[in-house]
Amino acid sequence: MVAVRTAVKGDVSGCAELLGILFSQEHEFTADVEVQYRALSMIVSNPELGRIFVGEIDGVIQGMVMLLFTVSTFLGRKVALLEDMVVSPAWRGKGLGTLLIEHATDFARKEGFGRITLLTDCDNGAAQHFYQTQGFSKSEMVVFRKLLD
């Protein structure tokens, strides 16, 4: 049985494990279970920051996606940053990622959000194709980042 729902405190460890899988695939990040646990706990405990949605199969978390909330002065509305989309390797290509994206998108629509933005590695063609099939389009914007201590 497949279920997509909002994560609760008891899901944080499972989500942190999934982030380990995700960060092992990304060029700019490395996993640190304690750091990921702390960040996930912060979001679950403060729903004004965002939502984490988990995909469960037979009671085991096999995927997750996160929406973090901010405001667009251009749109004059709330917008979301889609972060940390990951599905366990054994469940990829079986529709769980699509269910997670649809759930997150439906949530954002119902809550009055005007846009969902996401980032993915420039050489991750599979992820880019997936997001395009989900209705996302490539932006001409360039990402810059400044790490603070």
pLDDT tens-digit profile of 106-117? 999 999 999 999
Question: CATH: 3.40.50.300, 3.40.630.30, 3.30.470.20, 3.40.50.720. Which one for 2-133?
Answer: 3.40.630.30
Nearest Cα to Cα of residue 42 among 2, 15, 20: 15
Amino acid at 67: L
Q: What percent of the chain has pLDDT over 70?
A: 98
Averaged pLDDT for residues 91-100? 96
pLDDT category at 29 given cuts 50, 70, 90 is confident
More confident residue, 147 or 64: 64
Delimit the domains of the chain by residue range.
2-133
Residue 27, both tokens:
């060029």
Angle at 138 between CA 82 and CA 104, to 5 degrees: 25
**Angle CA 134–139–144, to nearest 5:** 120
Q: How many CB atoms are closer than 10 A to CB 142?
A: 5
Q: How confident is the model over 10-27, as pLDDT tens digits? A: 999 999 999 988 887 766
